[in-house]
Structure 1
Amino acid sequence: AAVSASRAARLRAVLAGRPGVLLIEDDHGHHFVDLPLHPLAGATDSWALVRSTAKAYGPDLRLAVLTGDAMTIDRVTGRQRLGPGWVSRLLQRAVVELWTSGAVDVPAVSRAYGERRDALVRALAERGVEARGRSGMNVWVPVADETSAVTGLVRAGWAVAPGARFRVASPAAVRVTVSALPDGDLVSLADALAAAAGPAPARSYG
């Protein structure tokens, strides 16, 4: 979710009245989401902001940077000392090089994801499916039944994530990742999603 400036202001106002809450923000969209970050850091006494690199620069770069209040950082450091908390120096240097050398065209990456995401949302709208996706590499597609939609899409040759793991009270949906979607597959994916979004097929036993 990309938090807007106005929503961030409202959230900070709510959190200001609850200083004992531990606030953890995961900025996993750094350098591939084409919207500005509006952090809530500092709205409570205890907070942490994590910025990961794996999605923007490659899944092998399993690194993140962390900042927060002094007590929270001390607690994280203490927990790391109890287990395998060492991070490869080679991977750290690789990330620093990517961040500082301009080796990755960040606006181009963000724009490519945005174009694929928006194209799928438009294609689904043309088929009567009101999908959503405002940032990043995923599209949220409402469906009548998640299990039927996921299995139907697998039969059609597509793998999507059931929405249950990402939602609390919102209706059934599937999450579609477009980061590697070729332009030539857009129409067939939209057709498959539109077919899968409808009611589950009736079953009879007899």
Structure 2
Amino acid sequence: MKQHSLSVLFLLLVITIVSIPHPASAQRMFLRRPFEKGSLIGSGGFSFSSSGGSLYVEDGKRQTQLSLNPSLAYFVTRGLAVGIQTSISYVSRGDQSFTSLGAGPEVSLYLRKRESNPKAPIAKGSLVPYISAGLAFISSNGSSPTWGEYKYKSTGTNLSLGAGCLYMMSLHYAVFLRASYEFHRRSNANADAQTGNRIILSAGLSLFAL
């Protein structure tokens, strides 16, 4: 009985060892599916910006903004992802403060090097550059001690163009750095539509669902 139990344990040990991927084999399999048709990419980034233009500068005071930007996209073909971007922002300008919520479509093109084998793996630590374009619909609310009971409300759009790079950490994780230019248009019931622009540097984490 004891000999039988030892035999079973030995067999389980052999199966376990054989099942562990060899480093070389794991490297060959690494990242075969990210960026391929049917995979998903979800990202969460933080950004800080300083904005100019008639929409944002008042009495010489520029507007500063801290944002959280979650997004989710589906790869419709190799390297091309289509999805939705969202934003949650806190904004300040002098004694004024605002909160903004936004959502809209985004398209991203990931520029993987074209190998002879289109499904060739990417090594851990590889850099994958990308470009993106998006349109977000924005709703903002603001207040200030000098306004008393008055609450500022506006709606508008953000048109963005960006370029960035992913640093692949594993099969499912990457960190990214991105620079983007945004053109904004806002309107409210008490004023004509105004425009503004800003350049943003953001960083965050991307997750792949294969």
TM-score greater than 0.5 by the shorter chain: no
Shorter-chain TM-score bucket reads: under 0.3
For the pair shown, the structure with the greater C-alpha radius of gyration is: 2
| More helix as a share of residues | 1
Q: Which has the higher contact order (CA 8 A, sep 6+)?
A: 2
| More strand as a share of residues | 2
